[in-house]
Structure 1
Amino acid sequence: MNRTTHLLYLHGFRSSPQSAKARQMAAHVAAEHPGVHFWCPQLPPSPREAMALVASTVADWPRATSAVVGSSLGGFYASWVAQQLACPSVLLNPAVDPARDLARYIGEQTSWHDPAERFFFRPEYIAELQALDVRGLPPAGPELAIIAQGDEVLDWREMVARYPAAQQQVLEGGDHALTGFEVHLPLVGSFLRL
């Protein structure tokens, strides 16, 4: 595996590039791997539009040296991106079946990091999520899954079962936000060959 030169970070549902993990990853890359191109976009609520935005930007990235990190819904998206680029992926408490889990969130939502910022999660987004589901495909690149048994949002057993081929770091306790994520940055960096 080549050294990673381009790294994509995908945030979760109602999250943003201002999430603790996204900022810690960005700071780690800037401090320890300044030659790596790091991109963490604000994803639109529409899964189709979110992945169109990502696909159009990473189309020019060198496939052999690109990688993706995703958290929660971003982990679901990261699995789709990894299939498109045949690249390594790191999945942080990844959503396994967001079409099922997010159906109850149809309607107006607020952003975690700016409650004044509102968006509408539309019914058609469920079908868009289903269209991005790559669960039936073998991984197109190496996978690392960091999974907290104490995740209060997603079932850690589903995550473990969803990524049987991944190098798995299953944490006792913890939470959905992976509080203390910075302790995992060296593992993420070495796995991705930053």
Structure 2
Amino acid sequence: MIIYIHGFNSSSLSTKAQVLKQWLASRNRAQEWFSPDLPHRPAEAMATLIKLIESAQEPPKLVGSSLGGFYATHLVARFGLKAILVNPAVHPALLLRSLAGTTQQFWYGGGSYTFTQEHVDELEELDQLAPANPEKMLVMLENGDETLDWRDAAAYYRQSHQLIFQGGDHSFTRFQDVLELMDRF
């Protein structure tokens, strides 16, 4: 089982989630792909992921993008799973604090919600001073990421396996090219 964990305001319809789904299907492994559409509240998102992991017949591998990488980091600490983190968010409560009180639009499927201080507080509760089980994480960064500073993730995950690519952007333009490597990790 591979659980793809989408980023902030995204869903299972994100490009990376769908590319991974199609890649697994092309190898007759479609049944391995799971990507829940997570609630916008971090505590509820984490509860959804924990329930999915606890119901799995075998330990899943996690693939987390952006905020999904932050969630995956928390789950690696809790369950000792392997995870691939794609341009992960580091300390997102600090990054998103300025959005408190703003209306946020979902990228897929429409809809909106108000991002509140409670969202920020829930993110702070999930944060870790340093990642637990860093050897169980493969961190993939593109230094052209216009949304997150790749150096923050490189420093935070310094004890994890890392691949840092020149150029690219927050969407991680090389995702298709690294699927085989991700699968082998």
2:131 & 2:161 partners in 1: Cα distance? 17
Relative contact order higher in (CA < 8 Å, ≥ 6 apart):
1
TM-score using structure 2 length? 0.92
Which protein has the bigger helix share? 2
1:161 counterpart (141, 146, 155): 155
Are the aligned partners of 2:74 and 2:126 in contact in 1 as well (CA < 8 Å)? yes
- Between the aligned partners of 2:62 and 2:117, the Cα distance in structure 1 is 28
Equivalent residue for 1:98? 92
Match of 1:79 in 2: 73
| 1:111 paired to 2:125 | no
Q: How does 1:23-172 map to 2 (within 5 A)?
A: 23-32=18-27, 34=29, 37-62=32-57, 65-106=59-100, 107-114=102-109, 116-139=110-133, 142-172=136-166
**Equivalent position of 1:10 in the other structure:** 5
Please list the CA deviations of residues 146-192 of structure 1 after superposition, one character each: whole Å capped at 9, or x if unmatched. Answer: 1010000000110100111211110101100012410111111111x
Change (3 A) 1:104 1:83: same
- Give the residue type in structure 1 aligned to 2:19: Q
Q: In structure 2, what is the equivalent of residue 3 of structure 1?
A: none
Q: Which runs of 5+ in 1 are unaligned?
A: 1-5
- Superposed CA RMSD: 1.6
Are residues 1:178 and 2:153 paired?
Answer: no
- Contact preservation (8 Å) 1:7, 1:36: no
TM-score scaled to structure 1, two decimals? 0.88
- Give the unaligned 5+ runs of structure 2: none
Find the aligned partners of 2:2 and 2:77 in 1 and give their Cα distance: 15
Is 2:19 the partner of 1:21? Answer: no
Report the number of matched residues. Answer: 184
Report if the CA contact (8 A) 1:45-1:120 is conserved: no
Quick one: structure 1 residues 160 and 68, their matched pair in 2 at CA, closer, same or farther if it must change by over 3 Å?
same
